[in-house]
Structure 1
Amino acid sequence: MKRGYTESPSASVGPPQSRFKQNPEGDAHFLEDESTKIFTRKVADHYSARTNQTLEEREASPIIHLKKLNNWIKSVLIQLHARRGDAALDLACGKGGDLIKWDKAKIGYYVGVDIAEGSIEDCRTRYNGDADHHQRRKKFTFPARLLCGDCYETRLDKVLATDAPFDICSCQVSALANISALLRPGGTLVGTMPDANVIIKKLRKAEGLVFGNSVYWIRFDEEFSEKKFKSSSPFGIKYKFHLEDAVDCPEWIVPFHVFKSLAEEYDLELVFAKNSHEFVHEYLKKPEYIELMRRLGALGDGNQDQSTLSEDEWEAAHLYLAFVLRKRGQPDRTQANSRRDRGQMHISKEDIMSINSI
């Protein structure tokens, strides 16, 4: 399969050593099948049921350094592209793990959307600083809104008509029609996604239809036993993905050149796409991101913590890529932010808007 970016020359080497010591109605038609809706509900229930962990429990995770590496990649993306006063849309915001990143970027307004009720409630708790392990020395500096619902099934441009346009959007999965409708011209989408090229390459090197290591495995069904995929039929290539202490669910291959073409149909142009290995090696050359890596601890903190990303975690990181898209058009930053007063500095349960039925 084609790819729209260069593969990192260091993809085969180990982890870096510690340096410190098309559719105006949106994507809803894809979800009309009842079995897909049932699966979507199961995914939401899965993430709702995942409880917040203590610091000790998080540090005991077999993929703790992989989680910290992914956290670093998202932090770098936000630092690179978010500007003071921006209105930020966080799709699939989960439990609000990126709130501090947005705060450090000094954004002016935040809207978080997630399908899982439990995750949104945890995000609300984290934003308010109500839970003991989420206590902060100061309040978040930006007002916020939280919505619970499926960003694929709902026309968010209608729901968020008085909040838009947004300057920046973060998404770990993509609903391109919604994103394009809500971003201002010149606005930015930053995100991560599975790297289809790497996954297919690993499948073809494997002896059978399963490959992986101690922290992850991927299994394809027998219908793909020939390991050949028609470029004319890029959709529907399903696989089962398991990542220790994180994910255990079906996913579908999304070739990046197809994703890029779909994005262009929604006026979203590619700025860059880099496999996680390439991304790490490029931005670890910059002093400010070396310091950020030290603080987040993916490679250890250079002091008491000498542990670092394992070889197996580094291989799992290779399964993902980071990307940035920008909406076509000239940015207009003169628009007043008066419509963004719908946000709250303290969010109650009643403030969370359900959009599942809209």
Structure 2
Amino acid sequence: MNKRPREDEPSSSQKRQFGAGGGYGEQEGYSEERISAQRVADHYSARSNQTLEERENSPIIHLKKLNNWIKDCMTRYNGDSDQQRRKKFSFPARLICADCYETRLDEYLREDAPFDICSCQFAMHYSWSTEARARQALANISALLRPGGTFIGTMPDANVIIKRLRESEGMEFGNSVYCITFGEEYTEKKFPASRPFGIKYKFHLEDAVDCPEWVVPFHLFKLLAEEYDLELVLMKNFHEFVHDYVQRPEFADLMRRLGPLGDGRSGQSTLSQDEWEASYLYLAFVLRKRGPPPSQRRANNPNRGKTFLAEEDIEFLSI
């Protein structure tokens, strides 16, 4: 088992592995990445709530359903009054607002941990702007998962993105629903393995995303995760994932209810060709925390959450 470095100090071996320029640059450069991260946060905060009819009229509604991109957390958790009355079972929840790529969560959530599962959907790549942020993200996950616990996530597929960039004539590629643009600093379309952090591009997804994102070379993500006792269980591009799991009856029913792949058996998809092409930009992964599961469960924390949440219940953490 590797001895973990301090979260704020890369070891010399890490500098050799990922390159001394892997995000630990001058304070000015770090501030620039903080500004980019804030732009991402501002983008999602500014998106207004939509009615069901408005969501269904989205030009990428079937892609959204495929991605199962769940938003407006508190409203969805509480449900309307009728939904609340129909709930047969409820579980306590807490809403915490924090940058989990820069804030240590292990001490704050000590009484709630360890957890059986951690989920990070379409967001892990925002940690890859610097090595420090990427390490803090994985440190938080590892510290809060029990041995044998599972980390599931989705992120852009770097292999697909770089391949599409190199196939394009310029620094931009896409279709009617998405567009990816790289800056002129990447004109040669070369990305040395020694500098895997901070490879930024502009991503536009119609009616959903319009902000900077970062390339995550998955083989290096896997190596970094291993330093935090997280071992890879599964990694599949979305197309491969859908092809494999839609064949299984227990998952085909979920596909039918979500709607993006029609009846889940005939193969008739409700996605447009451009939406299906956009889904190829993503991959799904599963990591498992090393070690045998504990013999005893943690003691219940009586303050671990509520079954109905209000604005004043949101906990805001600062760095």
TM-score range, shorter chain: 0.7 to 0.9
Matched residue type, 1:60: N
Find the partner of 1:129 among 79, 82, 85: 79
Q: Secondary structure at the match of 1:241?
A: strand
Q: Secondary structure at the match of 1:185?
A: strand
Query: Displacement of 1:272 after TM fit?
Result: 0.8
1:147-183 C-alpha deviation (Å, 9 max, x unpaired): 0111011100011011110010001233111000100
Find the partner of 1:329 among 288, 291, 303: 291
Q: How does 1:166-177 map to 2 (within 5 A)?
A: 166-172=115-121, 173-174=123-124, 175-177=137-139
- Assess if the C-alpha contact under 8 Å between 2:151 and 2:288 holds in 1: yes
Query: Displacement of 1:26 after TM fit?
Result: 6.6
Matched residue type, 2:119: S
- Assess if the C-alpha contact under 8 Å between 1:143 and 1:344 holds in 2: yes
Find the partner of 1:142 among 71, 79, 91: 91
Q: What is the distance in 2 between the residues matched to 1:354 and 1:57?
A: 30
More divergent stretch after superposition (42-51 vs 206-215): 42-51
1:86-131 C-alpha deviation (Å, 9 max, x unpaired): xxxxxxxxxxx3xxxxxxxxxxxxxxxxxxxxx7xx4223322258
- In structure 2, the residue matched to 1:319 is 281
- CA separation of 1:333 and 1:43: change in aligned 2, threshold 3 A: farther
Q: What is the distance in 2 between the residues matched to 1:25 and 1:264?
A: 15
Unmatched runs of 5 consecutive residues or more in structure 1? 1-21, 75-96, 98-118
Q: What is the distance in 2 between the residues matched to 1:220 and 1:192?
A: 21
Q: How does 1:4-43 map to 2 (within 5 A)?
A: 23-25=5-7, 33-43=30-40
- In structure 1, the residue matched to 2:20 is none
Unmatched runs of 5 consecutive residues or more in structure 2? 11-22, 125-136
Find the partner of 1:227 among 189, 193, 210: 189
Matched residue type, 1:225: T
More divergent stretch after superposition (36-45 vs 190-199): 36-45
Q: What is the distance in 1 between the residues matched to 2:117 and 2:74?
A: 21
Find the partner of 2:174 among 189, 195, 212: 212
- Assess if the C-alpha contact under 8 Å between 1:25 and 1:155 holds in 2: no
1:55 aligns with 2:52: yes
Query: Displacement of 1:251 after TM fit?
Result: 1.2
Query: Displacement of 1:301 after TM fit?
Result: 5.3
- CA separation of 1:285 and 1:27: change in aligned 2, threshold 3 A: farther
1:14-56 C-alpha deviation (Å, 9 max, x unpaired): xxxxxxxx54437998796323223322322221221221111
Q: What is the distance in 2 between the residues matched to 1:40 and 1:266?
A: 24
Alignment identity in percent?
Answer: 68
More divergent stretch after superposition (123-132 vs 266-275): 123-132
- In structure 2, the residue matched to 1:269 is 231
1:44 aligns with 2:47: no
More divergent stretch after superposition (137-146 vs 46-55): 137-146
- Assess if the C-alpha contact under 8 Å between 1:128 and 1:346 holds in 2: yes
- CA separation of 1:183 and 1:152: change in aligned 2, threshold 3 A: same
Q: Secondary structure at the match of 2:50?
A: coil
Q: Secondary structure at the match of 1:51?
A: coil
Q: Number of residues paired by the alignment?
A: 285
- CA separation of 1:236 and 1:49: change in aligned 2, threshold 3 A: closer
- In structure 1, the residue matched to 2:19 is none
Q: What is the distance in 2 between the residues matched to 1:49 and 1:336?
A: 38
- In structure 1, the residue matched to 2:13 is none
- CA separation of 1:317 and 1:191: change in aligned 2, threshold 3 A: same
Q: How does 1:222-261 map to 2 (within 5 A)?
A: 222-261=184-223
More divergent stretch after superposition (29-38 vs 42-51): 29-38
- In structure 1, the residue matched to 2:245 is 283
1:325-351 C-alpha deviation (Å, 9 max, x unpaired): 000000115223412642111223222
- In structure 2, the residue matched to 1:69 is 66
Q: What is the distance in 2 between the residues matched to 1:259 and 1:47?
A: 25
- Assess if the C-alpha contact under 8 Å between 2:40 and 2:212 holds in 1: no
Q: Secondary structure at the match of 1:163?
A: coil
- In structure 2, the residue matched to 1:151 is 100
Q: What is the distance in 2 between the residues matched to 1:43 and 1:27?
A: 26
Q: What is the distance in 2 between the residues matched to 1:219 and 1:300?
A: 32
- CA separation of 1:229 and 1:36: change in aligned 2, threshold 3 A: closer
Q: What is the distance in 2 between the residues matched to 1:206 and 1:34?
A: 32
- Assess if the C-alpha contact under 8 Å between 1:163 and 1:340 holds in 2: no
- CA separation of 1:329 and 1:64: change in aligned 2, threshold 3 A: same
